[in-house]
Every structure is written in structure tokens, then in C-alpha cells.
Amino acid sequence: MFGDKPYSDYHEAGFVLPTYERGLELVNVYFDFSIVTYRFLHRRSVEAWLKQVYQNNTSSSNLPDGPMIARTAIVFMIFAVATLYEERSPGIDTDPWNGSERWYAASKYMSSLEIGPPRLETVQARLGQCLYLLSSSRANECWFAFGTALQLVTALGLHRKCPAKMSKNGGSYLERELRKCIFWSAYTLDKYLSVMFGRPRLLHDEDNDQELPDEWNDDDIVSDDPKSRAGSPDSMMVASVLHFRLGRILGEISRQIYTISPQSRDQSLEAAVHLTSELEKWKETTPPLFNSVRATSLIPPLCRQSQVLQLAYSHAIIHATRSFLLNDFTDLSRRPPIPHPTVTTHVGKCIKAAEDVLKLVESLAKQGVLIQSFWFTHYNPPPSPLRT
């Protein structure tokens, strides 16, 4: 589609389940390496669904029904994303028959079988499919698939705070937190797709009042006792919340600096200075685990999260400051009322952020972990003025 990577000849929905042990291994790869900040799935729930898929002997001729349709779509989506990670990792042999494209096709087919009103699992499966498409160099198809996923997000009311009566009488703490995680994952992805394509954002801050998720761990979230789920500095959700906050600033950068509304060059540059300051404040609030500690010294999931946040921050700085590179500050009649040292400083910040991206990408390549599921690296390169 429109220049996306073409599918191979065996792109079809037929599938044969791998061994249960292999399936569990793919689930671990998904959560620990592939999708580390878009955490809209609860790991223990997914493991339970995986077990049920095998207990039901799910196959092309024995399809699931009811809620298990969407849950099976999620399991197959996880197989697709995790297999894609392995396909691009050096030294790992994969089975072409059970390649990532086949699992993606199977997941998409399962989603097409759903009937009745949408569920949280309906959106989770489709968001995961969007991330697979991005990771496999199919951004245009992702754009259209994401539009459907976003309609489901708003249809379920995930953009609004959880109603008080639901908190008291209905949904569990797990369900309430998943609603937040799904929305903020979609919100953040919306901001990146907007930047990548240069198209309008689909979610606007004035239309939502959903709260950010708490900083929980998978094992603690099933408890409704607040004391047993107190957040910790090494919670896997800390990086996700940081990424969601960064996505909110990224949206403001697009809205204030790259607006179609008439504004002077001076106004644009002043907004860039303010938003760059907001980004730097965000960085100051990040815990040492993701700031001053070397990423490679962390356990793999936290290392991966740290690298994602480093790239996200650097790209946000570039997005906010690159307008300083394209102005003629040698012409006194065009010089904005910003002190020249400020201009020089922000040009330096833009260049340093680009250098940080290149250094991290080079480091990942040398480690042999620069794989396609790290879609940041090929959809958000440094802007063209920095590549000349």
C-alpha cells in the first residue's frame, strides 16, 4: 500500500500453533523486548489467554467464539510482533511457515470474526496490529488501521475519566487501569503518526479528560487493595507514564509551532523556546534509572525502556528546535526579538539531540539489537538540514 513493504507470497490466515512452551517464549519476548512502553496489555491476563488458546485446541478449522475471539487475536498479534523481533535478530533461526506475516494475518482474521459491541480486547488487538505494521515498514497501512482503532477507543469512552459509579460498583482496578493505558497508548501513537506523516492529529486535548495510569506492576494490579500495589521506582509502568507525558508535550509542539494558523516567525520561535524548556523539565523529573544510569547496565526490559525514552526525548527536542536552523539570522531586519545567544543555544540543542540519536543507533547496531520492531529508528530520523 502506497510504498509500504510488500507482503510475501505466504501472507494468509492459515496457522498451526507452535508448542505451548514456544508460545510462552514469544509472550516473554513481546513484553520484555518488543513493546516496552506501549503497555496496554496485562501480562498475566495474556498468559491466561494463551493457556486457554491451547486448551481449546484452536486451529484454522477449530476457531474460538465469544470473548475468546478477540483474546485469540491478541495472542496471535503478540506472536507476530515477537516473531518479527526474532526474524531481525542475528543468530536466530525462524520457521518461515510460522513467520510474523502469517501470525499478523491470523490475528487480523480473528478480529474480523468479532460480532457484537466492542470490548477492551477488541481495541487492544487492533492497537497491537498497528504497532506490528509500523515495525514491519508498513506505515501507510498502519495509518488506516489506526483510524479504526481510534474510533473504537472513543466508542468505548476510553477518552473520558472512569465514571464514579463504575469505580464503586463495577469495574475492577485492573479494568480501570487498562482503560487508561489503552487510551494513552493510542494518544501517544497518534502524536507520532501525525509527526511522521505531517497530517493532523486525530485526538485533541480539549476532547479528553482521561487520567494517566498509575505506576503498577503486573503482579500487583489484580489486587483492589491500594497498599499492595504501591508504585516502585523500577515498576515497568514508570517508563510508560513518562512516554505518555512526553507524547503530550510532543502534541503541543505540533500544535503551537507547526500550526496552519497565521503567526509571525517570532511567535513560533518563542513557542519553541518555551516548549524546549518543558521538555527539559520532563527530563529532570525522570528517575535516575532512566536518566543517569547507563542503559546497558540495566536488566533487558528496563534497558530497552531507557533506550526508547532516550530516542523519544531526542526526537522531541529536534521537533521543537529545528525551526531555528532554517531562519536567516544574519539579516538584521528579519532578526526576531530573541537574544542571539538564545538562538545559538537552541541550534546547539537541536544538533546535540541529532548526534545523540545517531550515537544510540550506532551503539544498538554494534550490539546487534537494531531490529525492525524498533520503529523509532527508521520513521523518526534527524531532519534533513542535519543530514547534509
**Please, what is the average pLDDT of the chain?**
86
Q: What is the DSSP letter of 115?
A: -
d(CA 73, CA 113): 10
Q: What is the DSSP letter of 33?
A: I
d(CA 109, CA 113): 7
Q: What is the secondary structure of 36-86 as a DSSP string? A: SS---S-HHHHHHHHHHHHHTT-BTTB---TTHHHHHHHHHHHHHHHHHHH
How do residues 275-334 score in pLDDT, each as one tens digit? 999 999 999 999 988 877 887 788 888 888 998 999 999 999 999 999 888 765 555 565
DSSP H helical segments within the chain, as ranges? 20-29, 43-55, 68-87, 100-112, 120-135, 139-155, 164-169, 173-197, 236-257, 265-285, 300-321, 340-367, 376-379
Residue 212 has pLDDT above 80, yes or no: yes
Q: What is the secondary structure of 220-277 as a DSSP string? A: TTT---GGGG---TT-HHHHHHHHHHHHHHHHHHHHHHS-SS---HHHHHHHHHHHHH
Residue 233: per-residue pLDDT: 60
Question: Looking at 13-27, 214-228, 344-358, which range is the least confident one?
Answer: 214-228
Residue 367 has pLDDT above 50, yes or no: yes
Identify the sign of the CA torsion 59, 60, 61, 64.
positive
Average the pLDDT over 162-186 and give the result: 81
pTM equals 0.89
d(CA 51, CA 116): 25
List the grid coordinates of 119: 470490548
Residue 384 has pLDDT above 50, yes or no: no
Residue 13 has pLDDT above 70, yes or no: no
Residue 146's closest CA among 129, 171, 163?
A: 129
Residue whose C-alpha cell is 503551537: 256
Residue whose C-alpha cell is 533487558: 300
* Domain residue extents for the chain: 11-219, 235-380
Residue 380: per-residue pLDDT: 55
Residue 169 has pLDDT above 60, yes or no: no
d(CA 42, CA 235): 14
How do residues 120-132 score in pLDDT, each as one tens digit? 999 999 999 999 9
Residue 239's closest CA among 283, 305, 143, 193?
A: 305
Cβ(387)–Cβ(381) below 8 Å: yes
Q: In this structure, what are the phi and psi dihedrals at residue 59, rounded to the nearest 5 degrees?
A: -155, 180
Q: In this structure, what are the phi and psi dihedrals at residue 102, rounded to the nearest 5 degrees?
A: -65, -40
Share of the chain above pLDDT 70, in %: 82
Share of the chain above pLDDT 90, in %: 59
d(CA 334, CA 234): 49
Residue 76 has pLDDT above 90, yes or no: yes
- Rg of the Cα atoms in the chain: 22
Residue 387: per-residue pLDDT: 43
Residue 381: per-residue pLDDT: 47
Amino acid at the residue 238: V
Residue 388: per-residue pLDDT: 38
With both helix axes pointing from N to C terminus, report the angle between 100-112 and 68-87 in degrees, rounded to the nearest 10.
Answer: 160
Residue 200: per-residue pLDDT: 92
9: number of Cβ within 10 Å: 7
Average the pLDDT over 130-147 and give the result: 94
Q: In this structure, what are the phi and psi dihedrals at residue 310, rounded to the nearest 5 degrees?
A: -60, -45
Residue 249's closest CA among 306, 342, 180, 187?
A: 187
Residue 382 has pLDDT above 60, yes or no: no
232/388: higher pLDDT: 232
d(CA 6, CA 17): 25
Long-range contacts of 21-24 (CB under 8 A, 24+ apart): 23/50, 23/53, 23/54, 23/75, 23/79, 24/50
3-state secondary structure of 327: coil
Question: Looking at 1-15, 49-63, 270-284, which range is the least confident one?
Answer: 1-15
150/342: higher pLDDT: 150
Residue 216 has pLDDT above 70, yes or no: yes
Question: Looking at 94-98, 201-205, 260-264, which range is the least confident one?
Answer: 94-98
Residue 378 has pLDDT above 80, yes or no: no
How do residues 37-51 score in pLDDT, each as one tens digit? 999 999 999 999 999
